[in-house]
Structure 1
Amino acid sequence: MRHLIIAASLGVAAAASANEAITVPFDGSFEDAAFAVESAIVGQGLVIDYVSHTGEMLSRTAGDVGSEVELFKEADIFLFCSAIVSREVMEADPMNIAHCPYGVFVAEDADGVMIGYRSYPEGEMQKVQALLAEIVAEAAEN
């Protein structure tokens, strides 16, 4: 998967095609980034349905799949939906259900801590992408 880095604090915009990860570096610890993401999501009036501790799973299962590669020091994915945005995009095309729930991830690798989300297809799903970009920009500012 290719990564596209956007400097949200500088207002730099870039086009991203579907299935790319859009990431923003976070100047701080993983824990601070996770707290900032959680606060930004809740601050939008949204409820976090689930936090996937993907980094822990990858570390725990590395030996089981014959790998010694450390992909992330830590990585969590915050999953949630927006009743308003979800209804809008699914009324436009009910098959947009395939994109729900939405996720924002926090990860730390050898290069540092990052916050990100996947890009969505052109059209109605850009409403979701705009919401995620707003959440990530807010979290990155903290």
Structure 2
Amino acid sequence: MRHLTFLLCFALAATVAQAEEWMVKKKLTSNFADTRDAVVMAIENRGLVINYTSHIADMLNRTGSDIGATRQIFEQAEIIEFCSAGLSRKMMEMDPHNIVFCPFAISIYTLPGEKNTTWVSYRQPKGPAAKIVAPLLQAIAAEAGL
């Protein structure tokens, strides 16, 4: 029984560690609007098109009561979705299943009770696609001051 418990704990720890490998997450001491604007500008400065801005906090707040939820998850939260036709094509020529990485997305959000703190996160592709997409996402993050 002890071996089974150990293996379960080990498997759970490995799963938690892997969960962080697919995401880059940064905590900033700036306000939401300035952070969002910096990310948008960094994306557009590369000639990329923002396809959509998903207002996640608004959606969760609007629909929470419909499903009996009372906990506020975000103060503010948006996901900026954008595309690079050239990079997307290269990724999908490598493997058509890389379609799952499109569109690229960067999340900007604030959490209840965290004053003067904004979080920014994005998916970190793995495998050969990472060599194509990671530099773009890192450059956008760097230009936005993340």
Return the TM-score normalized by structure 2.
0.79
Which one-letter code corresponds to 1:43 in the other structure? Answer: N
Q: Report % sequence identity.
A: 35
Matched, 1:121 2:123: no
Q: Aligned residue for 1:72?
A: 74
Is the strand fraction higher in 1 or 2? Answer: 1
Does structure 2 retain, via aligned residues, the 8 Å contact 1:37–1:136?
yes
2:126 counterpart SS class: coil
Does structure 2 retain, via aligned residues, the 8 Å contact 1:23–1:117?
yes
Does structure 2 retain, via aligned residues, the 8 Å contact 1:17–1:120?
no
Q: Which has the larger radius of gyration?
A: 2
Does structure 2 retain, via aligned residues, the 8 Å contact 1:75–1:108?
yes
Q: Aligned residue for 1:63?
A: 65
Unaligned runs of 5+ in 1: 5-15
Q: Deviations over 1:22-63 (max 9, x none)?
A: 111222110111101100100111010100001110111111
1:140 counterpart SS class: coil
Return the TM-score normalized by structure 1.
0.81
Q: 2:27 aligns with which of 25, 42, 45?
A: 25
Q: 1:136 aligns with which of 124, 129, 141?
A: 141
Q: Aligned residue for 2:108?
A: 106
Is the helix fraction higher in 1 or 2? Answer: 2
Find the aligned partners of 2:94 and 2:100 in 1 and give their Cα distance. Answer: 13
